[in-house]
Amino acid sequence: MGHKIYAYLDERIRISSLMGFLLNEPMPGGSRWAYIPGSMVFFVLILQFITGMMLAFYYGGTPDHAWDSVNYIDHLTYNGVGVGRLIRGIHYWGSSIMVIAVGIHLLQVFLWGAYKRPREIMWLVGVVLLGLTMTASFSGYLLPWDERAYWGTIVGTNMIGLVPFVGEAIKDAIRGGVGLGALTLSHFFTLHTMILPTLFILFVMLHMVIFRRVGPAGPFSGSPEKLEATKDTFYPRQVLMDAFGMLGIFIFILALAILHPPGLESVANPSNAAYNPTPAWYFDWIFELLKLIRPEIVGVVGLPVLIAVVLIFLPFIDKKPVRSPFRRPFAVLSTLFVLTAMLVLSLMAENGYKKLVDVDRAAMLRGQTVFNTAGCMGCHTLFGKGGKIGPDLSEEGLVGHSVHWLTVQFVNSKAHFPDSIMPDFTYLTPQQQHDLAMYISSLGRMNWPDPTKTP
């Protein structure tokens, strides 16, 4: 049967010739594990496409529905399996892994000297794809429309606004107005789900077409005769290695999605000026660097321009044909320097962020009972209900108080605020104080009502 279909198609669309072209690509020096990063990027991109389409199935791209729809996805279960959270988790972690895979791919091409003549154009197309990847992660950040998304995008777009002369206009064009609102969200949604995927498809195709025109660069050492003698075809050995790599990366993303599902903070609240936004981890180093560079404008404009200029002009400046990293000490040392700097800056940035309490779910639920029975709602407001004497606690978990600070606050609030009128809840047992602190730390961060269970 399969044979007949194959023969039928072969006669009409010459499928064997096509497959031969795709699979019998000659690889000088033979197949290697070192050649899989490009395929890994491609695989994660496909994964993002598929899970992204799935998320769009249930996503509502307006400020009054976006958060609710993401919370709905988080609660979608089928036969007891949290499929919604899983799909969102794959997309969420997929974006991080994609950035890593793109970074590894770029680094390898650089160290292998594979961007040199005649592969300069392929390198440039790759630089465009890097930009698309970064734009995709930036635009996807806003879509859940929670506090992190909103304030992160406020800062990100404000940075664009600092660019001299045109910045303000570009910022307003991106936001669809002066402020961040409904048009910003639909702009970002359109960018993220229509414009970027289209550009991705075009540039990935271009990348691959050029790749097949010039062929793989192959190893950086070895005589042409030796490479010729050890030549292999793409199929089956390299394809098998790629497939193993894809399975590995898939399991890794799946594990992250299951063990560390993405969070959802409380819905974007433009009046919560106390919110302390942090960027996605791969922008940490830029975040830290911008704090060091003064005046600010130099960093905001200079840094991306510098990165773009270096990447774009690299193959045209570095024209020596020598490819081995062992004979390019400057290239290798500067790579090491940049990587170390990025790592140190990222660690510094992470260190500077307020650590939110790692909430223990069981303790949080016990603490909720304590909260409801101890009379907290008499003075405090929670999600629109309760008293007005004390502060609103709806987003208290995002403030970043430690468990210790909170327990002191329960039993002796004057230690923090001398004028505090809050009663001292000294009758709470240490266990209850701890549980209550866990519950307070969860507020605005998790434990949202399940919209699939309507009353």
Partner 1 sequence: MDKEVTYRVGIPVMGVRGESLGRLEKVLLMESRHQVTALVVRSLDSMHILPLDRVTELNAAEIRTNVTPEELHGFPVFDPTQYEEVPPWFFPPGHHIELGALVTIKPLDVREQGEEDALTRRAFMGRSVAILAAAIGVSLLVPIGGYIMAAATTPVKDSWRDLGVKLQDLPMDEPVSHSFRAFSVSGWMRVPEERSVWLIRHSGVSDPQSEPEDKILGLDSPLELANSDPRLTVLSPICPHLGCEPQWHKGQKLFICPCHHSIYQLNGKRIGGPAPRPMDQLPVRIASDGSISVIYEQFAIGIAAKKRLA
Binding region for partner 1 (CB under 8 A): 7, 10, 16-17, 20-21, 24, 26, 30, 47, 50, 54, 57-58, 60, 65, 68-69, 71-72, 76-79, 81, 83-84, 86-87, 228, 230-233, 235-237, 239-240, 243-244, 246-247, 250, 254, 451-452, 454
Which residue lies nearer to partner 1 by CB, 164 or 224? Answer: 224
Which residue lies nearer to partner 1 by CB, 236 or 391? Answer: 236
295 cis-preceded (ω within 30 degrees of 0): yes
In whole angstroms, the minimum distance from the beta carbon of 64 to partner 1 comes to: 10
Query: Alpha-carbon dihedral of residues 440, 284, 125, 221, nearest 10 degrees?
Result: -120
Query: Alpha-carbon dihedral of residues 132, 267, 351, 440, nearest 10 degrees?
Result: -160
* Residue 335: partners with Cβ closer than 8 Å, 6 or more residues away: 107, 110, 111
Three-state SS at 417: coil
Which residue lies nearer to partner 1 by CB, 164 or 455? Answer: 455
Cβ-contact 82, 28 below 8 angstroms: no
Which residue lies nearer to partner 1 by CB, 410 or 448? Answer: 448
Which DSSP string do the residues of 348-361 spell out, in sequence order?
HHHHHSPPPP---H
In whole angstroms, the minimum distance from the beta carbon of 259 to partner 1 comes to: 16
In whole angstroms, the minimum distance from the beta carbon of 268 to partner 1 comes to: 16
In whole angstroms, the minimum distance from the beta carbon of 382 to partner 1 comes to: 21
In whole angstroms, the minimum distance from the beta carbon of 196 to partner 1 comes to: 21
Distance of alpha carbon 296 from alpha carbon 382, whole angstroms: 39
Distance of alpha carbon 169 from alpha carbon 47, whole angstroms: 35
In whole angstroms, the minimum distance from the beta carbon of 309 to partner 1 comes to: 35
In whole angstroms, the minimum distance from the beta carbon of 103 to partner 1 comes to: 23
Which residue lies nearer to partner 1 by CB, 87 or 127? Answer: 87
Which residue lies nearer to partner 1 by CB, 41 or 406? Answer: 41
* Residue 189: partners with Cβ closer than 8 Å, 6 or more residues away: 59, 61, 143
Q: What phi and psi, each to the nearest 5 degrees, are found at residue 406?
A: -65, -45
Which residue lies nearer to partner 1 by CB, 25 or 172? Answer: 25
Three-state SS at 78: strand
